[in-house]
Amino acid sequence: METLKLDFNKRYTYADYLTWMDDVRRELYDGFINLMTPAPSRKHQELSVNLTRIFGNFLLHKTCKVYHAPSDVRLPIDESGNSDEKIYTVVQPDIYVVCDLSKLDDRGCLGAPDLIIEIVSAKNSKRDVKDKFEIYQERKVREYWVINPNDENVNVFVLDENGKFQFVGMYAGDDKIPVNIFEGDLKIDLTEVFMP
């Protein structure tokens, strides 16, 4: 399939995004195109599968749901901008958890998930550490994890009462990460995530 010729200086909406029928994965940050890297590394995939399995097992028969990329998360600025023509930010987090199931539809998630996990690589670390950090904070994602597969560590941020992410800690080795949105009922054992 031929790649579309899109103007990277133009601001697009989710309605535009839905018309792009090619094999290129893209996200929109405030209407501007951000190309996603080609297929992630094997290690990235293993981490994603391990975490999705752990969350999936914990959430079995519970009200929250876990999803993994590729899955669109549409992040309107406010409730009044929920139409496709008014949504300018669409991301595909590596993993996300949603507890308000009214945010889910056949196209993914409309509104901020409760937890987002991004697995960084050398090619996307600025995007995940800075750009997406700011987007997720602004749209009020309750908890954000940034995983560095090469250093085998996880940085955890939690949204405070003022709407700002606070750094909770860096976890590595045999640490167990308490999942804040579940008030510690789930602790992720990193030895089950970073398996050899």
CATH code at 85?
3.90.1570.10
Rounded CA-CA distance 174/193 in Å is 10
Rounded CA-CA distance 53/68 in Å is 10
**Structural domain contains residue 59:** yes
Closest CA to 27 of 88, 118, 103, 81: 88
**Structural domain contains residue 57:** yes
Quick check: 125 pLDDT over 70? no
**Structural domain contains residue 138:** yes
Quick check: 1 pLDDT over 60? no
**Structural domain contains residue 185:** yes
**Structural domain contains residue 3:** no
Question: What confidence score (pLDDT) does residue 124 get?
Answer: 66
Quick check: 196 pLDDT over 90? no
Split at pLDDT 50, 70, 90, the class of 25 is: confident
Percentage with pLDDT > 70 across the chain:
94
The region, left, alpha or beta by phi > 0 then psi within -120 to 50, assigned to residue 78 is beta
Average pLDDT over residues 68-89: 89
Question: What confidence score (pLDDT) does residue 38 get?
Answer: 73
What is the token pair recorded at 166?
């606070």
Split at pLDDT 50, 70, 90, the class of 40 is: confident
Split at pLDDT 50, 70, 90, the class of 24 is: confident
Rounded CA-CA distance 54/194 in Å is 12
**Structural domain contains residue 5:** no
- Cβ(76)–Cβ(87) below 8 Å: yes
Rounded CA-CA distance 100/118 in Å is 21
**Structural domain contains residue 66:** yes
Question: What confidence score (pLDDT) does residue 17 get?
Answer: 95
Rounded CA-CA distance 93/173 in Å is 24
Domain of 119? 40-193
Residues 6+ away with beta carbon under 8 Å from 85: 13, 14, 15
pLDDT tens for each residue of 129-176: 789 999 999 999 999 999 999 999 999 999 999 999 999 999 999 999
Domains of the chain: total: 1
> Helix, strand, coil % (nearest 5) of the chain?
25, 30, 45
pLDDT tens for each residue of 105-117: 999 999 999 999 9
Alpha helices in the chain (DSSP H): 14-17, 42-59, 125-126, 132-138, 190-193
Split at pLDDT 50, 70, 90, the class of 71 is: very high
**Structural domain contains residue 159:** yes
